[in-house]
Structure 1
Amino acid sequence: MTDGPSLRQLLAAIGEPLVQLGAGSADLPVHGLAILDPDDEPGAYRGELVLIIGARGRDALRYLRAAARRGAAAVAVKSEEPDTAQLEAAAGDAGIGLLVVQPRARWDQLSALIRELLDSAALTAGLRDDSSDRDLFSLAQTVAALTGGIVSIEDATYRLLAYSRSDSEVDEVDELRRLTILGWKGPERYLELLREWGVYQRLRSGEEVVDLEERPELGIRRRLAVGIRAGSQHLGAIWVQQGSQPFTEQAGSALLGAARMAALSMLTQRGLPGTRSRDELVTGLLDGRVSADLVAGQLGLDPAAPSVVLAFAARTIEPDLPEHELHLAELARVVSVHVTAHRRGALVGTIGGRVYAVLPVTTAPVGLAERIVDVLKRRTALTVQAGIGGAAPSLRAVVTSRAEADRVLDAVSRTPDRAVGSIGDLRAEVLLGETLSLLEANPELHDPAVQSLVEHDAAHGTELVVSLLAYLDALGDVRAAAEKLHVHPNTLRHRVRRARALGGIDLDDPAHRVVSHLNLLLARRNP
């Protein structure tokens, strides 16, 4: 049985003075919650916190002892002095913990909050003791880069799960962050203040990004925070402390996307044995190995929803494999944070050296891709390009959109000064690229006349291939082609005549002209 949250953590989440520790160790773990009503027969309460709801004060003594005999870790009883002293003595004799609940507290609200904390603790159990915590630490580093702040991720019981690291933090962190990292949880006196200010209530109630102003007198710098949620289940929160520089403009949206990613990470780590991971499902969907219906069923998506695929790749590939893998992982995290903030149901997967995002077609993909590319360049120094496929009528046709996104990215990669392209804007370039690839894969279709020009240039240091190609690109306009090549028009005319004579190329025949043009383009692609 894995350790559940301690009584101390439950008390910190519930808050005094509604509930106070009357007896037992605050570090006593609780593995579950049970309700004991005097009208019911006591059950088995192994390691559980038992709420005695039908009796108060000294009237609850017999039920306290019954719960202890049946293995309860602790009981919660409504009581006031002087009855509380008797309950404390009885709990001490029985060797169990005692939570003293104020009479004005409502059992339904208290039990709902405790169940939420227990469920969240079960979901996040082992994250600090397993290699999976690296995902959260990596996410914290990415959020730090995107927000310009200092990041920590905690679960619903304020247990620290991960935090960003930086050599420049030494003089920037405030007392709250320092104490949190030292104790792997938020210090209780600060938790109480945050509760008084209503911060935790806001974090639990939705996806609001909470902005906390600086409190110099308390040693607290400005912070942004957002709750981590899975449906109505509160799993924890992400905090970003401001350092020496202001937060970035996209800090709020980055924080929202990170919270959604953190929820997925927490839930994935607690997945059922034999189920496929989210990454496996997404990559399988993109390459056609996994059916859209299976992906939609396991990830809670609509398989009939129209979708579009965005493909991202770094402009340069690092020769050092570990460094390349590091950059690829950073690219994937930044893309995930942004698209998840944009659409909760967004999917992100990595295949080869490319990162793919699957989004609803209602999204404006070009603007989103441009923002992601810009952020990557400014915040991570990665030069990235993006290709956007056409709209797929459903999740089942995502493979087609992905293939188009790949072709667009191939076309964009041949244009160094272009960052983003879509199939709608680059259809001609994509079609030309596919045609050249087909020609390249079939040597028997190559034009021997153009090959003779290539060989002549290599042997004699001439520029017949590039000159003839410029002439054809300019549709026979000698002056425009000569200006592009920075040569005199007569020089270009001489080269074109020489190329035609040497290769026997017939530029007067439309079919021959097209074939020659394609082969010249292929020669330029593969010098």
Structure 2
Amino acid sequence: MPVHEGEEGHHETGIPLRRLLLVVGDPVMDVAAAPAGLDVRVDNVTILDPEDRTEAHAGDLVLLIGARGGAARRLVRALADQGATAVAVKTGGHAPPEEVLPAGSSPRTHRRAGKDEMAGLRAEAQDAGIALLAVRPEVRWDQLQSVCQNIVHDTRPSAPDELGEASGDLFSMAQTIARLTNGLVSIEDAASRVLAYSSGSEVDELRRLSVLGRRGPEPYLAVLREWGVFTKLRSGEEVVRIEEHPDLGIRRRLAIGIHAGSQPLGAIWVQEGSEPLSEHAEEALLGAARTTALHMIRQRTQTSAGLRLREDLLSSLLEERIDAAALADTVEVHADRGALVVGFSVASQAAADGEGDPSGEERLGPRDRPERELRLRQLIDLVSVHTAAYRRSSLVTELNGRVYVLLPDLVRGREGWLGVERSVLALTRKTVLAARSTLDLEVQAAVGSLVERLADVPASRAEADRVLDAMGRDLERGMSWEVATISDVRSKVLISETLAYLRDDPSLRDPRVSRLVEHDRSGGADLVHSLLVYLEAFGDARVAAERLHIHPNTLRYRVRRATSISGIDLGDPGERLFTQLQLLLELHGPA
């Protein structure tokens, strides 16, 4: 038996029929009879064929297919006796083609017979005390069951430990979407319950009531249903625009359905505040809906199809702990198509100081780590939104403080791989710009080379890491790179890796350069920096002096002093090259 209010130690289960009808409702089905009112609760949705054994349970909404006349009335009575909450039947409002009409009848008489049959069913349901719903003839039973069952499922309470982490991810996602769209965001399930929402003022009456009640208010849901909003949200990945209606307390807003395949999971709503929505709000919503679907699946099922497994699998592939086949079999990407990795890094104080931990973790105190984790989670959400809009099969994960994106299933176009690489670079620049403007994070990104097999993805990731390392060292010297490929920074990558080799093996260093460095440190001179700038200017004293903001004669004097103290012969090309490398190591060193 269903649990009702007032029973000690219990809570009601299921969803009120009224609420189910508000979400599904017209143009799908209408109420034909409701002898116990519309607050009766639905806990399960089943399909019953007349040839099957009649079996129902308390709280069931039974979709009755194919029954006609007296047989249908008997089934309605039997379902009521077994405790079912409601039964749904197809209406007879549309006549079938004439070739399938009973002999001697016309479409008009058939429609009249259909109305008479519905009247008989209505009287039977009224007498039996069961709700009767009339379903439009064109509605498919399997689709109706999927939609209704999904709405009912979303009202079932989750265990606190399951809901806590996942809902926290959704609140982070809502805040990220709000920054990208410049609006006020709420994420709702298929039953219009508010799962998460962004902060902000300038709320309209619809948002205020939704957030306070943690679900869409019924009068507003009815209006949105009349406007066809829910039908559009369930139908696919269309961004729905709702114009401002001051008389109803509704500001302009955008909405998009969240789906898992053909199954609707909920919707994302973005209300416009005092400022207009951003130019790319609709594109951001598309990626957000695809990413949020994974969060909601994890919240609902906690199974291997969830978001964390995807993150773990990608991490394992990038670190070569699993092979490409294991990833391809699980997340349905093609192992024999092109792919590449994009890496994102937040510029840290550690990198700016030239220290060895690229994530900055070693420098963080206990109070700093939660803030860093929040920033990283926000960056993951933002990157996920943008890349999902670009390619549905994209995967995002985090390793050692860096965020990595795998873009699989890339196909060579008319320009070969050039067109693909250009589009990925454009996507990456847009993502970095969004991170800097909406999250206020100094983010850099490196696009690894495109590989033609999924198995070679670790090589693309390693190349992205080499580029990020070089970009971090450039940032320390005052050159700000936002997005780069190996071709952009190849020389810097090679030089920095050479310097790392020199640092790890002190026996390779020239003691004469070390002597000059020690002289500067003890005497407060600036010979090392002057000599390095002179060598970088190919020995052109005027160019080097201009960079140092000194007179050329002053620079020439410093160079002579440097060679005199150290004993270095600048006439030897090999000594010039090695001196320049070691001076770079002494002044900056690899991070």
TM-score, normalized by the shorter chain, greater than 0.5: yes
Query: For the Cα contact (< 8 Å) 1:203–1:210, is it kept in 2?
Result: yes
Q: Secondary structure at the match of 1:426?
A: helix
Q: Tell me if structure 1 keeps the 8 A contact 2:341–2:460.
A: yes
With structure 1 as the length reference, what TM-score do the two structures score?
0.90
Deviations 1:8-57 (A, max 9, x none): 333123314832161446351322312131x3332465653222334457
2:125 to 72, 87, 91: 87
Q: Any idea what SS the aligned residue of 2:277 has?
A: coil
User: What amino acid maps onto 1:352 in structure 2?
Assistant: N
Give the corresponding residue for 1:348.
396
Distance in 2 (CA, whole Å) between partners of 1:340 and 1:123 is 24
Residue matched to 1:241: 271
| SS of equivalent residue, structure 1 residue 425 | helix
Distance 2:425 2:159 in 1: 38
> Given that residues 310 and 388 in structure 1 are in contact (C-alpha distance below 8 angstroms), is that contact kept between their aligned partners in structure 2?
yes
**Aligned position for 1:63:** 75
* In structure 2, C-alpha distance between the alignment counterparts of 1:67 and 1:124, rounded to whole Å: 24
Which secondary structure state, in structure 2, belongs to the residue aligned with residue 186 of structure 1?
coil
- How far off is 1:238 after superposition? 0.6
Q: Out of 373, 392, 404, which is 2:463 matched to? A: 404
Q: Tell me if structure 2 keeps the 8 A contact 1:471–1:481.
A: yes
Alpha-carbon distance, 1:308 to partner? 1.9
Per the alignment, residue 102 of structure 2 pairs with none
Is the CA contact (8 Å cut-off) linking 1:76 and 1:100 kept in structure 2? yes
Which position in structure 2 is the counterpart of 1:13? 23
Partner of 2:425: 366
1:114-193 to structure 2, matched below 5 A, reads 114-119=145-150, 122=153, 126=157, 129=160, 130-131=163-164, 132-166=166-200, 169=201, 172-193=202-223
For residues 382 and 158 of structure 2, the distance between their equivalents in structure 1, rounded to whole angstroms, comes to 22
1:42 aligns with 2:54: yes
Pick one of 266, 281, 290 that aligns with 2:322.
290
Query: Offset of 1:509 from its aligned partner?
Result: 2.6
Distance, in Å, in 1 between the alignment partners of 2:225 and 2:288 is: 23
Change (3 A) 1:115 1:107: farther
Instruction: Report the Cα offset of residue 109 of structure 1.
Output: 2.3
User: Secondary structure of 2:579's partner?
Assistant: helix
1:205-220 aligned within 5 A: 205-220=235-250
Cα distance in structure 2, aligned partners of 1:121 and 1:434: 58
Maintained 8 Å contact 2:14/2:155: no
1:446 lines up with 2:446 in the alignment: no
Greater alpha carbon shift after TM alignment, 6-15 vs 370-379: 6-15
Give a deviation string over 1:283-337, Cα, whole Å, max 9, x none. 2222222322222221111122212222222223585222222212221111111
For 2:154 and 2:322, the matched residues in 1 are separated by 27
Question: Matches of 2:404 and 2:184 in 1, distance apart?
Answer: 28
> How many percent of aligned residue pairs carry the same amino acid?
46
Question: Does 1:389 find its partner at 2:448?
Answer: yes
**Does the alignment pair 1:338 with 2:386?**
yes
* Conserved 8 A contact 1:3-1:31: no
1:5 Cα deviation after fit: 4.5
What is the deviation of 1:123? 7.3
* CA positional deviation for 1:426: 1.0
Q: Is the 8 A contact 1:123 1:266 kept in 2?
A: no
C-alpha distance in structure 2 between counterparts of 1:365 and 1:51, whole Å: 48
Please say if residues 73 and 121 of structure 2, whose CA atoms lie closer than 8 Å, have aligned partners that are also in contact.
no
* Structure 2 residue corresponding to 1:109, chosen from 137, 140, 161: 140
CA shift, 1:492, in A, is: 1.9
Evaluate the alpha carbon distance shift between residue 107 and residue 478 of structure 1 in structure 2; reply closer, same or farther with a 3 A threshold.
Answer: closer
> For the aligned residues, what is the CA RMSD?
2.7
Cα deviation, residue 140, structure 1: 0.8
Match of 2:98 in 1: none
> What code does the residue aligned with 2:528 have?
V
- Whole-angstrom distance in 1 between the partners of 2:487 and 2:152: 48
2:222, 2:290 → 1: CA distance? Answer: 26
| Counterpart amino acid of residue 228 in structure 1 | I
The number of aligned residues is: 515
Note if 1:493 corresponds to 2:565.
no
User: Are the counterparts in 1 of residues 72 and 121 from structure 2 also a CA contact under 8 Å?
Assistant: no
| Structure 1 residues 359 and 54, CA gap change in structure 2 (3 angstroms) | closer
- Whether the aligned pair in 1 keeps the contact of 2:24 and 2:148 (CA below 8 Å) is no
SS state at 1:358 partner: strand
Secondary structure at the residue paired with 2:452?
A: coil
Could you tell me which residue of structure 2 aligns to residue 94 of structure 1? none
Query: Would the aligned equivalents of 1:4 and 1:118 in 2 still touch at CA under 8 Å?
Result: no
Secondary structure, aligned partner of 1:256: helix
- Aligned residue for 1:341, secondary structure, equals helix
Partner amino acid, structure 2, of 1:326: L
Q: What's the CA shift string for 1:396-418, capped at 9, x where partnerless?
A: 22211112112212222223432
Instruction: Quote the Cα distance in structure 1 between the aligned partners of 2:398 and 2:485.
Output: 20
CA contact (8 A) 1:124 1:270 kept: no
Structure 1 Cα separation of the partners of residues 257 and 215 of structure 2: 16
**3-state SS of the aligned residue for 2:543?**
helix
Task: Report SS of the residue matched to 2:52.
Answer: coil
Q: Is the 8 A contact 2:181 2:278 kept in 1?
A: yes
Give 2:395's aligned amino acid: L
Task: Give the residue type in structure 1 aligned to 2:436.
Answer: K
Q: CA deviation at 1:216?
A: 1.4
Counterpart-to-counterpart distance in 2, 1:511 and 1:49: 86
Equivalent residue, structure 2, for 1:507: 570
Q: Which moved more, 1:419-428 or 1:176-185?
A: 176-185
Q: 1:52 to 1:230 in 2, by over 3 A?
A: closer
Q: Which amino acid aligns with 1:52?
A: L
SS in 2 for 1:277: helix
Q: Is the 8 A contact 2:34 2:126 kept in 1?
A: yes
Q: Structure 1: state its 5+ residue gaps.
A: 92-96
CA distance in 1, matches of 2:316, 2:482: 27
Cα distance change, pair 493–107 in 1 and its aligned pair in 2 (3 A): closer
Q: 1:197: which partner in 2?
A: 227
Alignment of 1:412-451 (within 5 A): 412-413=471-472, 414-415=474-475, 416=478, 417-451=480-514
What one-letter code is carried by the residue in structure 1 that aligns with 2:132? L
The aligned residue for residue 436 of structure 2 is 377
Structure 2 stretches lacking a partner, 5+ long: 3-11, 92-116, 350-359, 411-419
Provide the rounded CA distance (Å) in 1 between the counterparts of 2:507 and 2:14.
70
2:333 partner SS: coil
Q: Which residue of 1 aligns with 2:289?
A: 259
Aligned to 1:76: 88
Offset of residue 151 of structure 1: 0.9
CA distance in 1, matches of 2:63, 2:49: 6
Residue number in structure 2 paired with 1:223: 253
Q: 1:3 to 1:447 in 2, by over 3 A?
A: farther
Q: Give the Cα separation in 2 of the matches to 1:400 and 1:324.
A: 28
Task: Name the SS of the counterpart of 1:357 in structure 2.
Answer: strand
> CA 1:5/1:83 → structure 2, altered by over 3 Å: closer, same or farther?
closer
* Matched-pair contact (CA < 8 Å) for 2:530–2:558: yes
The match for 1:458 is: 521
The answer to whether 1:300 aligns with 2:318 is: no
Structure 1 440/331 Cα, relative in aligned 2: closer, same or farther at 3 Å? same
| Equivalent AA in structure 2 for residue 9 of structure 1 | R
2:348 to 299, 307, 316: 316
Residues 122 and 132 of structure 2 are in contact (CA less than 8 Å); yes or no, is this contact kept in structure 1?
no
Take 2:447 and 2:462, find their aligned partners in 1: how far apart are those partners?
Answer: 10
Cα deviation digits, residues 475-512 of structure 1 (max 9, x gap): 11122112212222222222222222322223233333
